[in-house]
Structure 1
Amino acid sequence: MTTEQGDTEADSIGVSTTRKTFALLEALKETEGVTIADLTQRTDLPKSTVYRHLQTLTEVGYVIERDGRYYVGFRFVELGEQARSRRMGYTAAKRAVFELGQETDELAVFVVEEDNEAVYVHRYGSLSNTMIGQRRPLHSMASGKVILAEWDDESVHEYVRDVGLEALSPNTITDSDALFDELESIREQGYAVNDQELMDGLRGVAVPVYTPDGDFLGGLAAFGPTSRLTDAHVHDDLLTRLRDKAGEIKVTLAYS
């Protein structure tokens, strides 16, 4: 008979093992083709532990071994696509992002919130697939601020308290009062602008996307270098196209 203490110890071992597995997967994600020696150095795990975990991951198809080097397997693509297709609206947004990028010749993204972070679900542009699933602080990007603007004040206060307002560039909003003022403006005007708040030299604009029932779906954004994204380009061209695409997503869902 297993004791309560035994259960606790087993749970602890299981959690530790799972954390090691994901530490290895994160290290594999960062570099294309890694040896066991490289992974041992990157994760500070014993070589025997790394080997055992890799053997298990290889057997179930989530890691691929080629000539002594290990790669993330395509089984993860299947899981990722399931997450991206979890809501019909996410699928509808994919086409809108592609068309937006084609029509504007700018980078385009659809972003949602998960665990207080902005997550790239779809992207159009150079190396577009490399950003899918990556996370950014909500307060540092236009689409993230669109998401925060949908929250009530209490939820935003919790975000500031639990996540903080990290500065990713000199222009990132790091003051809570300034953030609340910004969110109020976004609610009134119906869009958000990122003026080099995520990265120097990068500017973007985003609008909210809603379902036919009025439920918030995510943020649709276009971004590019400040040399191209002038005030005139943002407000006279990109903003109109973004609103049109957000409306098309809503219509698509209404007739799906």
Structure 2
Amino acid sequence: MANQEDENVGVATTKKTFAILETLRENEGLSIAEITRRTDLTKSTVYRHLKTLEELGYVIERDGEYYIGLGLLEIAEQTRNREPGYTIAQRKVFELGRETDERSMFLVEENLEGVYLYRYGSPSNTMVGERRPLHALASGKVILAEFDEERIERFIEQKGLVQHAKNTITDRDSLVSELEAVREQGYALNDEEYMDGLFGVGVPVYTPDDELLGSLGLFGPTSRFTDEYLHDDLVNRLWDKAGEIKVTLAYG
């Protein structure tokens, strides 16, 4: 019984630590009082956790306000560099952004969610590390299209087809039909499915062994993404960059 109680205390402590870190990630430059209010933790609890995190280099304090420290950057970079293709994808994201003057990104899947590893745009560091629903993104649908039937059903059951914008796919049959189209054409579109007024296009990125590495995507205002612009320019550019990642992984 004592071991179980100790374990529960440890879990609760860890959850409090991450609640503070996530609060700082969303709104940096917060005082202890502001963190206390946003987390519903006691002031003394917030103070103790912050001091421990500060000693470890995971947060820093400036004039009574707390920020995420560079200690977490090292951990994050280790994660992003875990796969050789990830660093190559970073270069291609920036190339796409500069060549098209659109916002570009590289998305991977973890625990049935889309995670932004790289983004080019203004500002380029926003969204990196953030999680998004796979069914509401062009790049997310590209990843879902690689799932087998059992995994798709697990995704629907665990994550649900939540509506985020006016055109979000919210029923199973429509999603299955959409994913079949994605497999046939080799790319996916997001026409105001995650955010009203936003259009996106994504393609799969494969390793030399034809394993899915992630998805390259471009997005911007719906009014700018005409059929001609998409099919005569953007889709081909995305395919080219995805192919370059695969070739570079194979031959260096």
TM-score, normalising length: structure 2:
0.99
Listed as ranges, the matches of 1:89-100 within 5 Å are 89-100=85-96
Give the CA deviation at 1:25.
0.7
C-alpha deviations, 1:143-182, integer Å up to 9, x for none? 0000000000111011001110000001000011000000
Q: Does 1:174 align with 2:170?
A: yes
Gap runs ≥5 in structure 2 = none
2:197 to 194, 201, 219: 201
Tell me the equivalent position of 1:220: 216
Q: Aligned partners of 1:223 and 1:67: how far apart in 2? A: 39
Letter in 2 for 1:166: V
Q: Which stretch of the first structure deviates more once superposed, 21-30 or 138-147?
A: 21-30
Q: Secondary structure at the match of 1:209?
A: strand
Structure 2 residue aligned with 1:150: 146
**1: distance between equivalents of 2:173 and 2:26?**
37
The residue type paired with residue 96 of structure 2 is L
Q: Secondary structure at the match of 1:45?
A: coil
State the 1:213 CA deviation. 1.1
Offset of 1:32 from its aligned partner? Answer: 2.2
- Which residue does 1:63 correspond to in 2? 59
Whole-angstrom CA distance in 2 between matches of 1:199 and 1:81: 29
Q: Is the 8 A contact 2:119 2:126 kept in 1?
A: no
* Dislocated runs of 4+, deviation >2 Å: none
Deviations 1:43-95 (A, max 9, x none): 11111111110110011110101111111101111111111100001111011
The CA RMSD over aligned residues, in Å, is 0.7
Q: How far has the Cα of 1:36 moved from its partner?
A: 0.7
Task: Kindly report which structure 2 residues correspond to 1:1-256, keeping only aligned pairs within 5 A, or say none.
Answer: 5-256=1-252
Offset, 1:139: 0.2
Q: How far apart, in 1, do the equivalents of 2:153 and 2:31 lie?
A: 44
CA contact (8 A) 2:56 2:71 kept: no
The residue matched to 1:129 in structure 2 has which SS?
coil
Give the C-alpha shift of residue 205 in structure 1: 0.7
* Paired-residue identity, %: 63
CA distance in 1, matches of 2:86, 2:251: 15
Amino acid at match of 2:111: D
Aligned length: 252
- Residue 91 of structure 2 aligns to which amino acid in structure 1? R
Separation in 1, partners of 2:176, 2:197: 24
Q: TM-score, normalised by structure 1?
A: 0.97
What SS does structure 1 have at the residue aligned with 2:223?
coil
| Residue 31 of structure 1, CA deviation | 1.4
Which amino acid in 2 is paired with 1:64? I
- Unaligned stretches of 5+ residues in structure 1: none
Counterpart AA for 2:238: L
**What letter is aligned with 1:167?**
Q
